Structures are given as structure tokens and as C-alpha cells.
Amino acid sequence: MRLFVTGAAGRLGFRVLERFSASHEIVAFDRADPPQGLPAGVRYVQADLRDARAVREACAGCEAAVHLAAIPSRMPTIPQSEIF
């Protein structure tokens, strides 16, 4: 099965990659740099979820999604006007 995982560079997202990469094809999606120790075979896409084209292209052909992306409360770099 081909999985689309958002928030892949986060703590939980990375654990999902570790757990399922041996048995599934994974497209990992996050706006952060790829995490160290990315499991072999994982395709990492560094892009913003607000970019609809990037999301469509990255998840093309995926059969399921694990949506773990969030806006961390300690990340003041995104202006509220861009979020909503």
C-alpha cells in the first residue's frame, strides 16, 4: 500500500515512517528539512500543506493518508493572517 504521511518530520510522523516503511511505500510530506535517519525507501517531499499543487502531486497514487501535520504553538514564524 502507498501511504501519504503529513507531518513526517515531527516526532509522531517520524515514528510512523519507521514503523511502516518496511511494509509500505511511503511518501513523507513536511515543510521542515528531512529528519536524520530517514528510513530507506521513503520518498520525502519538502513543501507546505497550503500549497495545493504540491499536495496533489505528492499524494498522487497514494491509497491512504496519515495526517499528522499541525501548527506548533511555539512556532511564531507564521503570521496568523497566513494561517486563516
**Is the full-model pTM beyond 0.95?**
no
**Does residue 6 sit within a domain?**
yes
pLDDT for position 6: 98
From first to last of its 84 residues, what are the pLDDT tens digits of the chain? 999 999 999 999 999 999 999 999 999 999 999 999 999 999 999 999 999 999 999 999 999 999 999 876 665 566 656 655
pLDDT for position 70: 86
**Does residue 9 sit within a domain?**
yes
**Does residue 81 sit within a domain?**
no
pLDDT for position 71: 76
**Does residue 29 sit within a domain?**
yes
Q: Which residues of 44-63 are buried (b: 16+ CB within 10 A; e: fewer)?
A: bbeeebeeeebbeebbeebe
CA distance 27 to 44: 6
Task: Say how many domains are in the chain.
Answer: 1
pLDDT for position 73: 67
**Does residue 83 sit within a domain?**
no
Give the range of the structural domain holding residue 20, as residue numbers without chain letter: 2-72
CATH number of the domain bearing residue 43: 3.40.50.720
Write down how long the chain is: 84
